[in-house]
Structure 1
Amino acid sequence: MSPIPFSVLDLAPVPEGSTAGDALRNSADLAGHAERLGFNRYWLAEHHNMPGIASAATAVVIAHVAAATSTIRVGSGGVMLPNHAPLVIAEQFGTLAALHPGRIDLGLGRAPGTDQRTARALRRDLAGSETRFADDVIELQSYFRPAPPDQAVRAVPGAGLDVPIWLLGSSTYSAELAAALGLPFAFASHFAPDLLRQALQIYRTRFQPSAQLARPYAMLGLNVIAAETDARAAHLFTSLQQAFINLRRGRPGKLPAPAMMQDIWSPMEKAQLDHALVHSIVGAPDTISTGLDRFIAEFRPDELMITAQIHDHGARRRSYEIVSEVAITRKQCIAA
């Protein structure tokens, strides 16, 4: 297996039968577990009006997780920038970087992270919010540079602090922008596989070096559900499958307990879901190892970001342990 870093994307899932408080405590626990296992980053994502995701106030949750850890990088995967004024994000992440120097990442997306009605409640005005994305990214970058004496508006904290900016995407738009600005790029291949190859090709061939990054750096999202047997892992995977179906039916809810899927989905829904989640590796350790090798060889990521939407927190912890055993530990042995 290629010796690349592995990281964690946590949606702070709220399983059926639990609360948002339980989910946030689980996130802090899992982050400490991931740190001990050797994962590189721990990112949380901004979603709104979703009962099954507890990370809407993403910067607050990052502070919670960073305080519960000591070495792992913690960040956003991502903050949906059109929902916010760039100065507000600069101040929030400047504060995080002041509290946890050298450990904070700022991943930015341009989708709303919710439905259109909720997006309007967040932003008040949707006009041009996504078309301004490139300008907002550039403005945000300016707030992290050392502020000259005559700068009228500055981020405090923020100015002069080391807060690496990433662009996130599920299409080619952010790949083009990340290449033009010389920023690292993360692709949401764990739920949006269609434009993965095209986005990577654009990003890698058009990349322009910047003060932040000398060469292209692409991180790819991947669902990995690991257990002691293939059957057990497939059973755990049904929670994510149900959550996707519920969302597509317009009935988002808490993360369901595992179930028999033939009683839940239609043939068309199954086909749609199999396509959306095609970049998922589900199984026992040998299955996980083989799948990771294949994915890395095919797409050549510089880093993998693993996500595991599992109803039982203990099983989720064990899933990441297995990934560490077959990937991170082996990577360290190769390096040695």
Structure 2
Amino acid sequence: MKLSVLDLIPVRGDQTTAQALHASKSLVGTADRLGYTRYWVAEHHNMKSVASTSPGIELMHLGQGTERIRLGSGGVMLPNHAPLAVAEQFALLSAVYGDRIDLGIGRAPGTDPITSMAMRGHLGEGRMVDREGNQIDPVEQFPQHVMDTLALLSPEGAAVPMFGGREHRLAATPRMTAAPHVWLLGSSGYSAQLSAALGLPYVFAHHFSGHGTEAALNLYRNSFTPTAHAGQPEVSAPTTFLTVNAVVADTREEALALAEPYMFTMANLRIGAPITTLPLVGADVAEKMSAGHRELAEKMLSTWIVGTPAEAAAQLQETTARFDVDEVMIHPVAGARPEDPLDEVPGRTRTLELLAGELLG
């Protein structure tokens, strides 16, 4: 089994963004040393509990000092960005890190509708329109923007039609030693179907929804059409894995306690309550967790990996068998205790170490 890591760069208590980033820098070093396959960072905006907003920039920092682990986005939310801007960021990463870069692309905005509009440069009543004045929805243009990104990352670049039948060639710069490997991400059937139609690798966000995984993966596998994309590795058969929330500790009781801060945050997200910085393990989160929070948390736990190393390994093996995957991307969500240093994440680090001890040798 291959194990990888997804990081949202969580922010807790009175922790600063700089301290959260420092903690993640330590975490990627641990993952690299232990033999994890990939380390991906997400894109979310306007959330106090998440510091990961710009994967391309973060990876340039987080990758320093790593030797073998693949670095990637999980993912870049393409409707928020111009394809050329994304292609150039990841071309730069590839120029620095060579053939160790993954470009995971998502269709969701990763934020609320107002912030989403602000990401596209339109606040208040501003709207994106075409040259005839018709409103444009970047989400509806997602398939074309994926194709544009692939073209911009290819050696030939993209052909831009010009007046008089001429064309202008446009490619991502600086020159890459190897193009990033492009993946599509999703938590529904839409991206599964698009990935299959384009012949691209696909990742299901099982850590986020926990439902519909089997249907989405089956849709992808049954609809997959091999398609060559210049600069991309050949994908002759469906290629996929899934993500899962995980907390591993020496005892199941400790693992459950460490899981509570993130359980509280996810419950708030489900009910539309404000998302604050992550509470601390123990009295801090206990004071905030209502009976409703706990009821939601119990339901969510059924799709998480929580327990001792042996229990977690068994749960992961069951998950890989059930969904027929040979790689799982762990989202380590262990919370912090009041005494934990602000620039370290002992619970998350321990989750990676314990899982590696059981499954990576």
Q: TM-score scaled by structure 2?
A: 0.85
> Displacement, 1:227?
0.4
Alignment of 1:71-90 (within 5 A): 71-90=68-87
> Displacement, 1:41?
0.2
Whole-Å separation in 1 of the counterparts to 2:199 and 2:326: 15
Corresponding residue for 1:199? 216
| 2:348 is the counterpart of 1:316 | yes
Counterpart of 1:27 in 2: which secondary structure?
Answer: helix
Corresponding residue for 2:226? 209
> Displacement, 1:291?
0.9
| 2:247 is the counterpart of 1:236 | no
Change (3 A) 1:113 1:45: same
Corresponding residue for 1:298? 322
> Displacement, 1:68?
3.0
Q: Which moved more, 1:276-285 or 1:102-111?
A: 276-285
Deviations 1:73-122 (A, max 9, x none): 00000000000000100000001000110111000001111111111111
Alignment of 1:3-18 (within 5 A): 4-18=1-15
Deviations 1:43-75 (A, max 9, x none): 000000111111112211011111131211000
8 Å CA contact retained: 2:155, 2:171: no
- Please, what is the CA RMSD of the aligned residues? 1.9
**AA at the equivalent of 2:348:** R
Corresponding residue for 1:129? 138
**AA at the equivalent of 1:25:** H
Deviations 1:217-241 (A, max 9, x none): 1110111100000000000000111
Whole-Å separation in 2 of the counterparts to 1:69 and 1:236: 28
Whole-Å separation in 1 of the counterparts to 2:104 and 2:156: 22
Please, which of 12, 25, 43 is the counterpart of residue 46 of structure 1? 43
Alignment of 1:1-336 (within 5 A): 4-123=1-120, 124=122, 125=127, 127-147=136-156, 151-157=168-174, 161-211=178-228, 212-247=234-269, 248-259=271-282, 264-312=288-336, 313-329=345-361
> Any stretches of 5+ residues in structure 2 without a counterpart?
129-135, 160-166, 229-233, 337-344
Q: TM-score scaled by structure 1?
A: 0.92
Whole-Å separation in 2 of the counterparts to 1:240 and 1:116: 23
Q: Which moved more, 1:85-94 or 1:242-251?
A: 242-251
> Displacement, 1:137?
0.2
8 Å CA contact retained: 1:9, 1:305: yes
Whole-Å separation in 2 of the counterparts to 1:324 and 1:250: 35
Whole-Å separation in 2 of the counterparts to 1:158 and 1:269: 50
Counterpart of 1:67 in 2: which secondary structure?
Answer: coil
Q: Which moved more, 1:144-153 or 1:163-172?
A: 144-153
Corresponding residue for 2:339? none
Give the greater-gyration-radius structure (CA): 2
Counterpart of 2:279 in 1: which secondary structure?
Answer: coil
Change (3 A) 1:288 1:14: same
> Displacement, 1:265?
4.2
> Displacement, 1:267?
4.7
Whole-Å separation in 1 of the counterparts to 2:317 and 2:3: 13
8 Å CA contact retained: 2:320, 2:327: no
**AA at the equivalent of 1:203:** Y
> Displacement, 1:266?
4.6
Whole-Å separation in 1 of the counterparts to 2:107 and 2:301: 21
8 Å CA contact retained: 1:90, 1:158: no
8 Å CA contact retained: 1:145, 1:160: no
Whole-Å separation in 2 of the counterparts to 1:319 and 1:48: 26
Whole-Å separation in 1 of the counterparts to 2:292 and 2:334: 24
8 Å CA contact retained: 2:99, 2:177: no
> Any stretches of 5+ residues in structure 1 without a counterpart?
330-336
8 Å CA contact retained: 2:93, 2:101: yes
Q: Which moved more, 1:227-236 or 1:126-135?
A: 126-135
Deviations 1:139-164 (A, max 9, x none): 10001111279643221126784211
Whole-Å separation in 1 of the counterparts to 2:197 and 2:178: 23
Counterpart of 1:221 in 2: which secondary structure?
Answer: strand
> Displacement, 1:262?
6.9
Q: Identity over the aligned pairs, expressed in percent? A: 38
